[in-house]
Structure 1
Amino acid sequence: MGFSRYPLGLALRVGGVAGAAALLGLLLVTTEFYATAFIVAVLLAAALAELTRHANAIGRDLTQVTEAIAAGELMPVLPRRLGPLGARLGRAIDKLGERNAARETAIARLNAEVEHAPVPLLSLAEDGRITLLNRAARRFFDGVDLARLDQAEALSHDFAAALAAPPGRRMVQVPLPGGVARVLVATSQTIAGGRAQAIASLLSIEGELAQSELRAWSDLVRVLAHEMMNSLTPVASLAGTAEALVAELRETLPDAEPPALDELAEAMAAIARRSAGLMRFVDGYRRFAEPPEPVRRTVPLTEAFGRVRALMQASPAGAGVAFEVAVEPPGLSVEADPDLIDQALINLVKNAFEAVAGCPAPRVTLAAALDGRGRVAVTVEDNGPGLPPGAAEQIFVPFFTTKPAGSGIGLSLVRQIMVAHGGSVEPVPRGPSTTCGTSTTCGMGATFRLTF
């Protein structure tokens, strides 16, 4: 079915060259018509020139098409002289364009998934360059210069070692402006542009570790409370019975020595009171071991702070203490159980009021704002003496207390409430306070941060 211009033209030109060459050879060998042979030679040269021109034109057309494809233009104008070759080339270009479009769509989708992934992702190149790959990573390292491995080394030796180590998982602590984060660093190797690079994901394990630790403490407290209650209940019962028997002896034995009976009655009463007190004490720890499940709803922090402020200002501990409350922005709220959050705030603020009792200018601040990672952060700050050395590592451990009459349950309960809400509580390192005068009973101050 018909020749197109390209193959027909090429066939005619090749045929002309071949015919002219054959005729010229015949004339030169078998005849003496040299003038005719000269004319045929000229025609042969012209045919060769035309064939060369035609081949060069085809070459230029193909060069233009390939250069256009190399430049990213997948819809070049194909010269008509290419004929069937051009049609096949056009179909190949169309398929290449479809594949390229599909690849670009897949890359765009992958980039979007990486950007919106909740886990911080970063890459480490062979030359030590670090790239934060998504928004979660930029939020996680907000305020931290992290563009090279030596900067990671300055931030944390363990963190830098985890990035540069062979593929695997390692738990490290990363000091950040908002506090120390415990993360699981998972690394893998990949090849990009002919160069090897490490891809690392950072999985926060604060919540999991806190939950495991609290479960262990709760189990321990539950067992201890059960055993202690089993022992105290009969003691309290026997003490009450003994008191009743002493009273009965007074009536039935009038000749009994009153001083001896009085001493016995006082001893039995003391045992009964102490047993009842211990039972209430143990019951408090049992409640710690069996906390209620949070019933979440939207809690405006201005309202929660208002309730805490009213309660503390009405208490004797609030006399003479400058109690400041701040929420920025004013409409800030959290999804939480209002009763449990109130309890956590009251425990922290009560501790702060007790800490500034010896200050000449006592001050307590309760504030809420968004941190650099977009989370709600509530801080309770005082200008008291601060935490004793070494106490920061133990203050959330049940039974541990720095107060002579403390139970060691308040901060443990705060931590349990925050873990139940998927948050955290931690002390914030501080420098010397400038608002507590010259008294030696205050100076460093203490700050606790609740992060939702």
Structure 2
Amino acid sequence: MSGNEGPSKRPLDRNLNLQIRLVIALLLFLGLMIFLAWSAVAHRLSGTETASLLLIIGLPAAALTAYWVLEPFRRALGILDAGIRTLEDGDFSFRLRRPRQPELAAMIDLYNQLADAFQKERNTLFQKELLLDTVIQHTPMAILLVGPHDRILLANRAAQQRFPLGKSLIGLHFYELTAAASEALGRFLEREETGLLNLQREEEAETYHISSIPFHLNGIRHRLVMIKHLTREMRRKEVQTWKKMIRLINHELNNSLAPLSSLLHSARLLAREAPNEVKLASVFDTMSTSIDHLVRFLEDYANFARLPNPRKEWVSWRDFLAKVEPLYGFRLDMDDPSQRGWFDPAQIQMVLINLLKNAHEATGTDKESVVLKLAPGQIPGAVHFQVMDRGRGMSPETMNRALLPFFSTKPSGTGLGLTLCREILELHGGSLRLQTREGGGLIVACELPGLPQERGPEAA
């Protein structure tokens, strides 16, 4: 019955197919009937004697003939039954030898093909499970699978290290784990929340991201808990940010101070010579421009670092924009001139000045293409406003990075303008996003949420 054996040599009668066996059995039965009929006539047997002869000789002969015809099928069905039972037990290595009878061969072939498919599928699943287990066990993130009755079904190495109970976590009740953890971590895990958790350990803060994801498997609720230690990664990113900021500040200071030193030297030389007020004035004007650039650069960093919470008040958009327009002109697209907004005027003015300045720099001489479009929201004080230009726009890659701190496409840019604008809008509860303008250019779409539904100008 093993699949490793080939078809063995058998007597000829065992290899006969069903049709031949039936023909032989029919001929033998007919011959037997003729013989019994001849014997009854020759010996002048009575009806009772003839019936007795048929019972004594005919029935055993018919039974033996039927057994001879059906015995290979009975044996094959018995073997097939044993093979199916091995499949039920999960053993897919059992194979049946292919018989010579074509009636049985197709059935046996189908069984062997089914066993091959099951074994191939099992090997594939085993390889996938092995790969998944390797990934789970070697990931630095602690992973726990909590099953019915809050029993832990899976815990990787990082989870064992995160909760050193001195024994395997698998099979434990989940709340045995939370009881052994710190108080803050235990409470967070019991609430089944997803988010960041800051822990203070030995005068040092540690940050974790904890995910608790419920799902149903075969109709039974499970929960996947993942705990990722972010402290090292955040420190590394923080150091990289500081290094980049220091390099940028150093670059800007050198670019501003080096020309100032050279200009001071030139001013001293001019002062020693005959008075030349025109040249000295030119030198001092250049020095003043460099100093102004340096002051603006430092102010950008100072504003970004110490941005206060907004002091919101009701502001008339028409009056507010009248103060901004002389600084950087724009074409206004506004449905309701009497509309009022609920925001910090100083901070939103900073946002508009930054966005309009960028639009003018991108547009060049075509100042009329800079458009400020305002549309009221459904909530009192809410507004959607867009600053649109006809510049070169941004590629998708640049657009994805434009809101990152210190990223700038300008040679002298600090990379803080758009970041500062987004920070101000988010402090107001709003948002900022970049879009491509149809026909060329860029749209900076901003949203201010206004007051909650139950409040209005009168309540404020």
TM over 0.5: no
TM-score interval (norm. to shorter): 0.3 to 0.5
TM-score, normalisation: structure 2: 0.37
